[in-house]
Structures are given as C-alpha cells and as structure tokens.
Structure 1
C-alpha cells in the first residue's frame, strides 16, 4: 500500500467495530490457485450482517474468484470460511443456495429456449410449475425494483441487459441472508440504479449481508458501509468511511498516486463540429429496421451518419434497440428493411466476414458468445481475423504470432500468464481488452462499432480503453459507441443519439450540460 494514503484508511479500519452486527460471513487466510497462478493469496474478510460491503479491484485482482468461493463454484485450497460462526465449505452452488447465499454472476446461467418465468422457477419449484403465480410475482418484483421485464418472453429473444435483469430478479426471489452481486447495475438507468441500491439498503437493514462488486465510484459513495480492495489476489486496503476515502481506495486498487484521475481522461482533441461534407461520411444508416424471431419490432426505421474523426454515442436503457442495431451492423442479424453503407459500400445483410473486410471493427457486447473462441489461446483470439499475416507457404508461423500477440497484450494491458493460455482462462475484463486489441489493430480500419466496451472493467482499464478509442477517432476512424454508461458517453462522444423503444428519440451534442435532456429522452420524452 502507498504510504501517502495508508493513514486515512487505517483510521477508518480502526473505527470499524460496532457500526453493524458482526459475523455473517468470515474468510480467514483464504487461498486459491489455478495451476501456477495464485488467484487469491491469504485473503481475510469479514462480511457483516446488516451492511453493504463493496469489493474493488482491477480485472484479475481476485474479486470474481472470491465471490465464486463464497457461492461454492470453487473450493479454497487453504484457509477457512465461517457462516454465522459455523464452518462453511459448500460443495457447490446448491449448498450455497441452501445456506441462504444467492449470487448474481457476471456471466449468465439462463436456459435460452425457455421463458423468463420458467427460468426463474428452475430450482425453486417442485411438481407442476405455477406459471401464473410466478408471472404475477415477477411483475411485482420488476415493478418494485424498476426493472422492466416480460415473464412470458423467451430468453433467446432478450438483449444482454434484459438477461441481466432476469438474473437479478432470480437472485432476489430467494430472499437470501447473504446477497452477492457482481456488477449488477451495469445495464440500468440512473433512476433504476438508485432504486436497486435502495433495495440493497433495505435488505441490509433487515439483517442480510450484501456483497456488491462494482467499479462505479458513485455507487460506493452512495451505498457502501465498508469497502475492501483486492490487488494481485491480496487484500491491500479497506475502509469503513468509503465516501471519504474514494481517492485513496482507487490509488490502492491501481497502485498509483491518489490524485491521478480515475475518470475517463479529457478528449485528446476538441470535439469536432458536425461535418456536412459527404466525403467525411463513413457509416450511413438508412431506415434500418429489425424484427425479432416472433416478428416484434425491435429497431424501427433508424437513420444516422457517423463521420471520420467522430465518436457518435448511442444512449438508452438496455433493451431499446441498441443490441439489435449492433447486431445488424455487424452482420449477426439480417434487417427486415433499410440499408447501411460503409464508405459507400452497401453491406446490409452481408456476412460478418465481408463486413470485417470492408474495414469494420466490432467489439460485441457479449464477448463470450460472439467475441472470442474460449478454447483457443489468447494469441489465436487476438489474430482471429488476421491469421494470414503469419502464414508462410501454407503454414502458420506460431512463433511470429506469439511475439506479435505479446506486443499487443502489453500495449492494451491484457494480463495473462502468457499468450499461450486459453482465452477462457482470462478474467472478463482482460478478455474484453484482448477483443478491443484485435479490432482496433485491423490494417484497414475505417469504422469501429463498440458495444458496451468497458462493461466489467475497473476504472484504470476504462480510462485506457477510452484513450485507445479516442486515438482511433483522432487518426480518422469513425466510431459508433454503444454504452449504458451515460457518464462515459458524455465524456467521450462528440454526438449522442438516444434510442427509445427502437426509434431515435433525439440527437444532441455530447457534454455534461446535456445530462438532463438526454435522461429525459432515455425515458421517452422528446426534447427536440
């Protein structure tokens, strides 16, 4: 820990004793290894009944591993856990659930060809499924938490954000005594975030312990009773006054000066005036319309332009057409109507490979499903669309590919034991950075479509990702940035387009002064 901020945190830790009831879950010197890598090394942690305990840490710091130990996904190699004073060593998630511990995971565990209601009844109902009663309860919970959700919808038809809502409600239906939430607010509106955090507070006030993994400093200021910081699998700092210790906690997390910025850096160049020269138009979208498998309209007559040297942000609550827009532009979905062009080349309905060859880089919102091949190595994933660079007389020069991958891993801060490890073994944030490295380094890159590119990343990695995206913009790449993080869009984009129920609700320049206007449009109120 840096000496500059240790005293403030130490004082806060010393004052910890009596603010909340103690002893819900205690980890004593817990360690966990995966091969030669120590994911957790001697971690001790006290999660108290009646508190909201936030975990901070860079990607790969051990947060998800710790949560998975608590939920029984992995077993610790050393140390012990106590639940309400009794030894706790779950043999699997079923044991954890039976013990009153529920968890919302980063990666979803839903049955795609079943309805929302059926997914929520799995493991919670014996005998005949009471779908009508379940639907009523789901609607009540969704209304209470401000999470719009249709119990009869099929999981396969839901966006990433809507699937996240299903996971949150599935967890809350169990009324747990320990609630573990891994980045649960990434897809919610500010008002919905406030509502969910208020629910967390009510749950804690009832005597339940709440563990919240978040990278959003505003959430920590608002709701955290205590914060623990992990770095390199070790506990490096904690605080019982996190609202006052934010700078020091972030500095402990990323091991740098507390005065260093933890928010996206200021744009590398001034925001550009909107171009009216058609020669600057890279992406032209004309009346694009998308329907789902049931014929429901998900994207309705969308028309927009993205110019060279411009970042256009797409704002909106998850489930309002952003996912469908990205899928259509990347070739994953065939539009029902409309066209789009990249540098004048018509691409609507084209295969993803053809769109890539046209100079389009795609950072998908679901990196696991469509952004990578988890069984291949990091190096192979980074060069999935550029393997021809390393082909000599029909043979793949793996030595050259590995050397090039090491360079990109260093440049984009992709942390792994080596470039040869399986991509699926990386943390979610490191997987996202590797996908970004692949897409941003295409030789003929003209357009970058980035959907939720910083989801699951820590504050230091968020800053690095946006610096890379700005650098691409500054060298002439057109960028379409889709994000549920309004603060990010306000700080990074040149223009913001707001989608509501599949239609463009309005367009405005980016900037903090536009927050209220954009928020109103996200809620369905036109301000144009």
Structure 2
C-alpha cells in the first residue's frame, strides 16, 4: 500500500490560509543495522487531535523523539506553523512551542503541584505568587481542575496527568505530544481526558496523540496517521474506518479479542494468599488483610487504580518483600519467608510490570537475558554443575525466538534494540520455558501493539488450558474482563469486591476502582506512591547488598 495524502477535513477546523501546525516531509532516521524511519510524511492541522498509530517497532517513538528534539533526522524537514525548524534538543522544541507528556509521569511526589510545574522553568514566572496565578489561569482556561498547593503524593493518576499537561502549557506549548496518555486511566478518567482535549482544541492548541487503543483513537482523533515498518502507510479520517480496518492497516491482521473459551478451572489450589498485611509506616497498611485463592486452570484478575497495592501483592508473593503478617502458600507449602530464587525454582513464573527495570538487561544480548531469573536451572546451567552452559542457553534462546515470534535479526543483539512488544514476548517465552505451576503476570500487554497483544493473550490462554494458576494484574479492563475467570477489585490495599467477568462492564469496574458509591468512599479514595514504610525487604542469594527501596527489586527477576 502506498502512502496517500492526508484526508481533507472541514475548513472550519483550521482558518483559511493558516499554515499547518506540523508538517513532516521525507523524515528518515537510521541506526546501525536498522532504518527506524523512512521517508515519513504527514501534515497536522492546527487546532486538531492527530493520532499516530502503529505496531511496536513501527517507528512511532523514534519519530516523536525527532519532533521533540531528542534525536535528529538523517534526512527530511520539519515545519512548525509553516516555518522550517531544526530541533537539536528538547529546549529547541519547547522554544518552538512543542511540549511532550511522556507515558511514565515525571513528577516528584514530595513536592506540591506548583513546585513540580515551576521546576526547571523558574525564570518564566518565578516560584511564588506570580507562578501560582499563572497555574490557576491555565487550569481555569483549559478546565484542568489543578490545585497548585496540593501535594502530588496525595493525587490520583488522572490528576497527575493533568499536571503533566499543565507543565507543558506553562512553558508555552501550543503543540502537545501525548504518549500513551490513557495507559493507566480508568474509563471515567479517560472520558475526562477527552473532555480536556476538546478544551485544548477549542483554544487553538494542537495535540499529537500516540496510542495502541484503537477504539479510543477513533473516538478522540480528527485525523489518524498509520505507520508501518518505519514509513507512513496512510492518513485517514476516523469517520471512514472502524477499529478492525485500522488494525489491518497497522499490522495486516484483524483486531484481536481477549475472550477465552470454556472454563478450565479445577478444584486443585495452586496459590493461596491468606490475610496478608504489609505495614505502611504511621498510616494505614499498604496491604490490609488480602486473601484469595487461585486454582489450576484459573485466571484471577486484579483491577485497581495504580498505586493501591497491586505491585506490593506481587512483591510479597515473589519474595521481594516480607509481609508484616499473613501467609502465602504454593500448593500446600508455606513460602512466606522464602527467597526469590527458591520461589522461582519451585515453579512461579513472573512477568514484571516494568520490563526495563525488572525483566531485562537492556545492554545484554538476548541469550543472556534468557538466563535471567533462572541461573540455577537447565538449560542455563551444566547438569550437576554450577557453571552457565552458554551453548545450551543460546540454543534455547533460538527456540524461544522462533516459537514466540520474537522479531530480531539475531540472539546476539541487545534486548534494548528490540521493540517493546518483542521484549515482552522474549520475557514470556523465558518464563513459560520453565513450565511454571503459577504465573504472575503484571500488566503483560502494557505499551505493546495489537499484534503483540494478541500473541500475549494467546500465551495466557494456553497457560490456562495447561493447568497453570495465573494472577493477572492489568490496567486494561477489557483485557481483565476477557481473560479472567474471576475479577477482584483492590482499593487502598484492600480487596473490596468480586466480579463475574461474564456480566461486569468496564464502567462497573472503573466505579469500584475509584470507590464511587462505596460506603467509605471518602476514606477509600485512590492513593498513589509506592507504600514504603515499615515493610522489610529480602535479597536473593545472588545479591548481598541491602535493598532499602522497595523498587530496587529482584535481580532483573
């Protein structure tokens, strides 16, 4: 398919004769052994939301880094409001009126909103009343509802995202790049974000919206540019395509569905968590009486606004934190005080929520990453010995690459050179290769495209059929509903409700996750932060240093 010109939109959305907000022509970027972008070309009209979609590795991230001045193109031109610009750094992009809100928020929890906003931009309006007045003015103008004196640690995910948007507006941005802005939002917060984007458009601002959620793209975008294998495929009008057609443009296949087949749940208990409590310093416990059971062939989904204890449940089960009280059982064995390595060797697979921090060594080749977390197990170690068996580890990595469709030129390239979806498939292949009894899957499809998402769902369904007990933690409510046999909602460290995936809706879960209608709603408002405090941490046998920060987790899991 050849690239086609942008779809013509009603003239009312852009003044007659006004230059487009962004014009990219012939953008090409090469890295050793790969062409990330090739002859990218599209136009973004002023005062619109323009979505960029494509599978992982299609070149979206590289393109946005070029537009934000993080990287320079090898060829091509960038025009902002009709003027050719050369962006050597993010400072140049900001001076050109371009701001970027990253998927992972860059806010300091221990500072107020005002302090976060002015940090690095003190010369604009100072750090006192003038800055406060400007923040209030911007918040009111765009209906962001931001309190400059609020402590960021007390705010939920949706509020934090509004602060990030306000930060770039404070610096004078007229063109906003939003990278996966809905990844951690519940449905109600997504609706609020879309309302705010409408306000931005009404004020003449332009938004570049990067997302894998095609239904949301179709809902919010005025135009959609599809990128495949580093080049623009088409720019389409969202009114002229549906999600299935858009997915086909992206990856050449239909939009996948996370639906499961008939129940495979047995009566054999494989994982039991019994009245788990994790202390949280002077305040309420981070985990407060958590109990659940997962049987062979069962997927238990945990839904919750990020920061309500999901990560801590995983850390306790995997042996990264020691509970204040309560027990964790693997089958009939109490593993509450086991080390990470013992838990891994006993048959617990782990897909971490942050693959870069806890799942991979980005600078190491794929075959070395295949060994991580399983250094004492075959085929990574010589039979009866203590030395790494590099030959067998490499051979097994080749098998994983083939069976799990990890798209890579070689097992000797670094993990950091792979797209996010291929990194995730490598991790899943590594974990499933050791035939676990229990699989802990934390946000397994976060930040991956529809093709990789479909593959990962297939692997989880296969694990379920093979009799694994799966704990699935996800911010994607459709994923939870489609894959789970039972869904539990977590709110401020407590399991507050159980739902049947056959009857519950995403809106029902979203309301339960935020405490809407809960009798203790004010007390149970979503919290954020990592919940450090009195909780103690343990180290594995391969790491002897102390870990005082709960997020300095197991050695790459």
**Fold similarity call, TM over 0.5:** yes
Aligned to 1:52: 49
> SS of 1:297's equivalent?
coil
Q: Greater CA deviation, 217-226 or 159-168? A: 159-168
Aligned to 2:410: 418
> Shift in Å at residue 514 of structure 1?
4.5
Aligned to 2:33: 36
Cα deviation 1:330-374 (Å, max 9, x = unaligned): 223332222211112222243322221221111111222222222
Q: Greater CA deviation, 386-395 or 315-324? A: 386-395
Question: Are 1:367 and 2:360 matched, yes or no?
Answer: no
- Output the CA distance in 1 between the equivalents of 2:354 and 2:478: 21
- Output the CA distance in 2 between the equivalents of 1:441 and 1:149: 50
Q: Which of 330, 333, 348 pairs up with 2:336?
A: 348
Contact map agreement 1:311 1:493 (CA 8 A) in 2: yes
Question: Are 1:432 and 2:424 matched, yes or no?
Answer: yes
1:140 and 1:16, CA in 2 relative to 1: closer, same or farther beyond 3 A? closer
Aligned to 1:407: 399
Question: Are 1:492 and 2:483 matched, yes or no?
Answer: yes
- Output the CA distance in 1 between the equivalents of 2:126 and 2:50: 38
Aligned to 2:433: 441
Aligned to 2:534: none
- Output the CA distance in 1 between the equivalents of 2:127 and 2:414: 40
Q: Which of 183, 190, 207 pairs up with 1:186?
A: 183
Question: Are 1:300 and 2:265 matched, yes or no?
Answer: no
| Aligned 1:57-456 pairs, distance under 5 A | 57-107=54-104, 109=106, 118-126=115-123, 129-130=127-128, 145=144, 151-152=150-151, 167-168=164-165, 170-171=167-168, 173-174=170-171, 176-242=173-239, 244-256=241-253, 260=254, 262-267=255-260, 269-272=261-264, 277=267, 280-292=268-280, 295-387=283-375, 388=377, 389-392=379-382, 396-443=388-435, 445-456=436-447
Contact map agreement 2:299 2:469 (CA 8 A) in 1: yes
Contact map agreement 1:72 1:93 (CA 8 A) in 2: yes
> Shift in Å at residue 308 of structure 1?
0.8
> Shift in Å at residue 175 of structure 1?
5.3
Aligned length: 508
1:140 and 1:168, CA in 2 relative to 1: closer, same or farther beyond 3 A? closer
Contact map agreement 1:161 1:319 (CA 8 A) in 2: no
Contact map agreement 1:90 1:96 (CA 8 A) in 2: yes
1:325 and 1:117, CA in 2 relative to 1: closer, same or farther beyond 3 A? farther
**Structure 2 residues not aligned, in runs of 5+:** 520-557
Cα deviation 1:255-286 (Å, max 9, x = unaligned): 23xxx3x132431x31356x6x4xx1111111
Contact map agreement 1:48 1:209 (CA 8 A) in 2: yes
Cα deviation 1:97-117 (Å, max 9, x = unaligned): 222211122355556886766
- Output the CA distance in 2 between the equivalents of 1:414 and 1:161: 34
Contact map agreement 1:118 1:131 (CA 8 A) in 2: no
> Shift in Å at residue 133 of structure 1?
6.8
TM-score, normalising length: structure 2: 0.82
> SS of 2:238's equivalent?
coil
